[in-house]
Amino acid sequence: MTDAEELRARTRTLLEEHPPATTDRTDFLRARFDAGLAWVHYPVGLGGLDAPRALQSVVDAELAAAGAPDNDPRKIGIGLGMAAPTVLAHGSDEVKRRFLRPLWVGEEVWCQLFSEPGAGSDLAALATRAVRDGEDWVVDGQKVWTSSAHTARWAILIARTDPDAPKHRGITYFVCDMTDPGVEVRPLRQITGEAEFNEVFLTGVRIPDAHRLGEVGDGWRVAQTTLMNERVSIGGSRIPREGGMIGKAATTWRERPELRTHELHRRLLDHWVDAEVARLAGERLRQQLVAGRPGPEGSAMKLAFARLNQAISGLEVELLGDEGLLYGEWEMRRPNLVDFTGRDAGYRYLRSKGNSIEGGTSEVLLNIVAERVLGLPPEPRNDKDVAWKDLAR
């Protein structure tokens, strides 16, 4: 069993052999992965050492103290938070060796081809088809609300492979090469004026069967691995005390005393307490993740994240009065990163509207909390045993 002292020794050896001050950033990250210090709980040879997940903090602290570069998780969040755990849990050995190293280093960006125009909240109703043709699958369909599709090299994709099966049982999970012929990415401009999301059209895209994750028709179960990790990634993000949206509102409150009223003060305090509760609950969620249990509680955190962001950003606009209605820039941009708190109060207010849609709508998450956390009876479903091709659409 690898312990903390051994990890410190391995980390110091890495730093001696690859001094951060004189080593190219990418070369350092590759060396870190090969030393098993990327994610220590992963298997040996895949960036880890089969060590307890909680010991990652030992490595991170040593590297931070030495000024070593990181892999910029904000830029590769979908790869790290969603693709990697799914590849590890359901990919073949060849798939794991091929994808995990460049994913962690950040040499290859990933996106997520799940949502569709006719199957967003009801993801299992998706209509993108994959048909077997020899050693390949041929994929046709359309995806939407795809973050990072314009920068991604790879995508995790779910597609329908058996329309005669009920909707949850006729789906298969693939890794799609975004540079292949037939993949078309179009910007999707949002209410903020930016186009961080995309539409992705798939026309006769050939995916080798070797890039399938899990069994044919078992894609819904594989997708649950992705979705649980996604909600933890969004709702359980580590932020400092009075960070995120509440930090922006509190700063405005302190710097602009002329805007204050008793009523706004009361509401700001209520939101501050709620934000602190959410922050501490997020820490508990991360401890659960450290133990390898990204459970359905992540849905509650993601739900709280969306509600708080919308309430606090609304209060900040209200606090600023007419000034809060100003909007600095509405030029279409194609950002590589999702920025929830950047720019001005108007931007934060508009961007927060997407928080209750992206990563699972609030309505879907309420159902998950009700059924899987609270154990309440599930909603009646009249499509449970009906072939997907016979469903009304």
DSSP per position, 240-298: -TT-HHHHHHHHHHHH-GGG--HHHHHHHHHHHHHHHHHHHHHHHHHHHHHTT---THH
Position 217 pLDDT exceeds 90? yes
> What is the 3 state secondary structure string of 210-231?
HHEECCCCEHHHHHHHHHHHHH
Q: Do domains 80-85+92-101+104-216 and 223-374 have the same CATH topology?
A: no
User: How does the average pLDDT of the chain come out, rounded?
Assistant: 90
Rounded Cα distance, 343 and 320, in Å:
15
| Domain 223-374, CATH among 1.10.357.10, 3.40.50.300, 3.40.50.720, 1.20.140.10 | 1.20.140.10
Q: Measuring CA to CA, which residue among 223, 235, 363 is closest to residue 299?
A: 235
Position 336 pLDDT exceeds 60? yes
17 exposure class (CB count in 10 Å sphere: 0-12, 13-18, 19+):
exposed
Band of the pLDDT at 289, cuts 50, 70, 90?
low
Q: What is the pLDDT of residue 1?
A: 57
Rounded Cα distance, 140 and 131, in Å:
9
Band of the pLDDT at 232, cuts 50, 70, 90?
low
Position 66 pLDDT exceeds 90? yes
Residue 380: enclosing H or E segment and its boundaries? none
Position 270 pLDDT exceeds 90? yes
Q: Which residues are catalytic?
A: 230
Q: What is the pLDDT of residue 349?
A: 94
pLDDT digits (tens, 9 = 90+) for 291-330: 666 566 777 888 888 999 999 999 999 999 999 988 877 8
Of 7-16, 24-33, 51-60, 330-339, the one with minimum mean pLDDT is 330-339
Mean pLDDT of 239-243: 84
Q: Measuring CA to CA, which residue among 302, 300, 275 is closest to residue 374?
A: 300
Q: What is the pLDDT of residue 237?
A: 64
Phi, psi of 123 (to 5 degrees): -55, -35
Q: What is the pLDDT of residue 292?
A: 61
Rounded Cα distance, 45 and 60, in Å:
19
Q: What is the pLDDT of residue 133?
A: 97
Residue 308 and residue 277 in contact, taking contact as beta carbons nearer than 8 Å: no
Position 87 pLDDT exceeds 90? yes
Mean pLDDT of 224-237: 73
Q: What is the pLDDT of residue 268?
A: 95
Position 290 pLDDT exceeds 90? no
Is residue 55 helix, strand or coil? helix
Q: Measuring CA to CA, which residue among 124, 152, 129 is closest to residue 140?
A: 129
- CATH class entry, domain 80-85+92-101+104-216: mainly beta
Domain boundaries, the chain: 4-66, 80-85+92-101+104-216, 223-374
Mean pLDDT of 108-116: 95
pLDDT digits (tens, 9 = 90+) for 127-165: 999 999 999 999 999 999 998 999 999 999 999 999 999
Q: What is the pLDDT of residue 161?
A: 97
